[in-house]
A and B are shown apart, each in its own frame.
Chain A
Amino acid sequence: MSTDEQYDVVIVGAGIAGAILSKQLTRAGFRVLVLEAGPATARSFDGYLGHLEHFYAAAKKGPESAWPPAPNAPQPDTGDIRNNDGYFVQKGPDKYGSSYTRSQGGSTLHWLGVSLRMLPEDFRVRSLYGVGRDWPLGYDDLEPYYRKAEREIGVAADVTEQAYLGVTFPEGYDFPMRRIPPSYSDQVLAAAVDGMAVTLGGGEVALKVRNYPAARNSIPRGDYVPVGAADVPAAGEPVERYIGQRCAGNTACTPICPIQAKYNAGKTLAQADRRHLRVIAQAVASKIHVDAASGMVRSIEYQRYEDAGSPRHTVHQATARRYVLAAHAVENAKLMLASGLGGSSGQLGKNLMDHPTLYAWGLSPVPVGPYRGPLSTAGIEDLRGGRFRAAHAAFRFDIGNDGWRAPTGAPDSAVTAAVMQQNLFGTQLLDHLTSTLSRHVRFSVAVEQLPNPANGVSIDPSYRDPLGNPRPLISYKIDDYTLAGMAAATGVYREVFRRARITDCTNPDEGGWFPSVTYEGETYHYHGMGHFAGTHLMGEDSGQSVVDRDQRSWEHPNLYLVGSGSFPTMGTSNPTLTLAALTIRTAERLVAELAGGTTRAAGA
């Protein structure tokens, strides 16, 4: 066992939160050590292209298909959900539908890039609607950090289109880049749908097809320079690549943007001050050592493996003035539990959330030009907030540009059905495919989920990975609040389809396999959105939460747990922008604290 040199901050995890902290702390002159459990194969541009080739040749092109797991840092895979034979040990009663990536860059390597702010009302759902929890921060507290996050990750949107349901921007502000052009399909749908009214919870709501803010490079505003592909060789300085400064419409945001026009955490990490940064990949944090009397963290133990194919490893201790877990909502909780740091609040690992999401797919009466452009460019956001939330979950629609790919595996599955079942060939086959594929429409309807202490991560000594670290046990149930939201969302998508004269082809029996739940006699097939949250939620009260509003552990004053695990609730926003904003806020406080040389009392 060896002890490394002293650092100011040790960060576990080289995903977006770890990258943002690394950049801010090193640029302020503090020495940072980052421990990344997975490989660093995406760090160099050549390595990244290797993942692209892997995707091309993969038989199944799901969200993980470009990012094979490292045996010593295993990761969940949506392909394992059906038989429950993957990294997660799913305890039910419902299946948790999401995955993440343990690799340098984290899950931003295959995220979609949706960068919605949370609504002001999302921070106060307990006060306003009597459900969930209130945040210890409000929209106004986070608003300046949202702007910083939008600049850090490079968000394309137009303010004129984004001020709805109470979302505000300061006078004169606009996003770093102009909105991504709406797809032809968005335009066709908007012409049919905009202004149509639906009734929800007794109130009438007018719908609008709206471009969403996306972390994809577009035409810059002002002095903003779009950040293209990152290329950090194993030795030497980062190489500037003149690629990826504009989205080129590769239609593969998930699982891999070939040109890195979509943000990934490698871009931020490449901007850290390398004189003060050390990143060790293939280094699995395995135990947090704590001084029993003070609660202060003394070191983080990690297992370094040279050969990704072998469990052989050496054990080291990393020490620093401050420690940050930025490993992912599930991994943060798992590491705390494995270190015997479950805490006295009883909340660690609990309140795991996601956005259980329904697919709806249909045939437009006219060609809409799918299978082109970013996987989606617009949504229907008008049902993300409102008084109905006292009764059931809010939801948002993501309007696909990739036809029926996600729910059915088209176009491959459509070709297969035409050839194998309809026995078509030749020009008849080609005409059939041309006339149908061009009219494929897909919605994803993401439904809010509230924090529930019964949903969460735990460990059991009998389930271990090759390095002997525990595998996460996942307990998960989709409650009536969310189920009623699914029912309402289903009613709305059917109204939208009718209005746009889209023939509803949604048929889970003909699509890929997805887990299902039943509510009031209807079966809903859902998938995860990769939106893990809640496992170390923040609060005002150390007895009811794991971290304070700065994401500092209540019980271990020199330890921070950062990421979407800190969210008390998630509303309907994809979590990455909000977790980036929270992380920037935490980074600023850490910089001030380290510069002052003191450790504030938690919550102060």
Chain B
Amino acid sequence: MDERSEQFLGLSGLLTGFGRLQLLGTGMADTYLQAVDAVVSPATLDDLLAVYEHLPTGAGRDDAVAAGILGDARLGPVARSLILLWYCGSWTQLPDAWRATYGTSSLDTNRVVSAEAYQAGLQWVAAGAHPAGAAQQGYGAWATAPGTGAR
């Protein structure tokens, strides 16, 4: 895996709370990387990855994410749409103010990325469940106590 993809996975793990293997296990990492590149341009994503690479480690790391990524006018909305992409398998249109300032893309619409992306949504894992209509758990599984979720 190339360095940029590794950075994208690292950033995605930091933002979603899921580990590298869980993200890889969705099979969607490449698709999402390409999707973000296509919507906001590779240059914008490069800037987001660069901030991620230079985040401090240790106690100040979360504050740095909040300030340097989520709090950033240009990178914050992109990061939030990226979180939703991983959790829901769908792209969430960037805010009007962002679009007015940084440009619009015909791909920047509220949409399910693909049938596969829907099924790979991490929200179902967080819920201790499965995507509705896919990855069936088997007869009677619903009668048992739920698992403990993602971790």
Which residues from chain A sit less than 8 Å from chain B, CB to CB? 52-53, 55-59, 61, 181-184, 187, 218, 246-252, 256, 258-259, 367-374, 377, 401-403, 405, 411-412, 414-416, 419-420, 423, 425-431, 433-434, 437-438
Contacts and interface: CB of A to CB of B under 8 A. Distances in A.
A258 to B, nearest CB: 5
Nearest to B126: A433
Interface string B74-91: 000001100110011010
| Overall SS of chain A's interface | loop
A430 B12 CA distance: 13
B110 interface: yes
Contacts of B15: 425-426
Contacts of B33: none
B123 A411 contact: yes
B129 A187 contact: no
Contacts of B133: 52, 55-56, 250-252, 256, 258
Interface string B134-151: 101111111111101111
A138 to B, nearest CB: 37
A251 B129 CA distance: 10
Contacts of A247: 139
Given A184-B145, A434-B150, A367 B128 contact: yes
Contacts of A56: 112, 115-116, 118-119, 133-134
Nearest to A61: B132
B14 interface: yes
Contacts of B90: 59, 412
Contact of A430 (B18, B115, B116, B143): B18
Given A373-B137, A437-B123, 11 more contacts: A57-B114, A59-B112, A181-B142, A367-B145, A371-B124, A425-B16, A425-B83, A429-B17, A430-B16, A434-B149, A434-B150
A37 to B, nearest CB: 27
B65 interface: yes
- Report, nearest first, the 7 A-B pairs whose CB atoms are least far apart: A373-B142, A369-B146, A430-B17, A371-B129, A56-B115, A252-B133, A434-B149
Contacts of A401: 142
A429 B150 CA distance: 12
Nearest to A183: B142
Contact of B146 (A59, A249, A256, A367): A367
Contacts of A405: 132
11 contacts: A52-B133, A56-B118, A57-B114, A181-B139, A183-B142, A249-B141, A249-B142, A425-B17, A433-B127, A434-B127, A434-B150
B19 to A, nearest CB: 10
Contacts of A368: 146
Given A56-B133, A57-B115, A431 B17 contact: yes
Contacts of A259: 136
A382 to B, nearest CB: 23
Given A251-B133, A258-B134, A372-B137, A437 B143 contact: no
Contacts of A372: 128-130, 137, 141-142, 146
B16 A429 contact: yes
A437 B65 CA distance: 25
A181 B132 CA distance: 19
A367 B141 CA distance: 15
Nearest to B61: A426
Contacts of B80: 419-420
A412 B83 CA distance: 12
Contacts of B129: 251, 369-372, 437
Most buried by B among A55, A251, A428: A251
Contacts of A431: 17
Contact of B143 (A183, A256, A427): A183
Nearest to A53: B115
Contact of A438 (B70, B128, B137): B128
Nearest to A414: B123
Interface in B51-83: 62, 65-66, 70, 79-80, 83
Residue of A53, A58, A249, A423 with most partner-chain B CB within 10 A? A249
A247 B138 CA distance: 7
Given A181-B143, A434-B150, A369 B128 contact: yes
Contacts of A373: 137, 141-143
Nearest to B95: A420
A433 B114 contact: no
Contact of A434 (B62, B111, B143, B151): B151
Given A183-B142, A369-B145, A434-B150, A57 B130 contact: no
A411 B127 CA distance: 8
B139 A249 contact: yes
Contacts of B126: 411, 415, 430, 433-434, 437
B132 to A, nearest CB: 5
B123 A433 contact: yes
A248 B145 CA distance: 16
A389 B100 CA distance: 58
Contacts of A414: 123
A433 B133 CA distance: 21
A371 B65 contact: no
A251 B139 CA distance: 12
Contacts of A415: 83-84, 87-88, 123, 126
B105 to A, nearest CB: 17
Contacts of B151: 430, 434
A438 B112 contact: no
A59 to B, nearest CB: 6
Contacts of B132: 61, 250-252, 371, 402, 405
B146 A430 contact: no
A419 B84 CA distance: 8
A273 B58 CA distance: 73
B31 to A, nearest CB: 14
B135 to A, nearest CB: 9
Contacts of A187: 143
Contacts of A183: 142-143
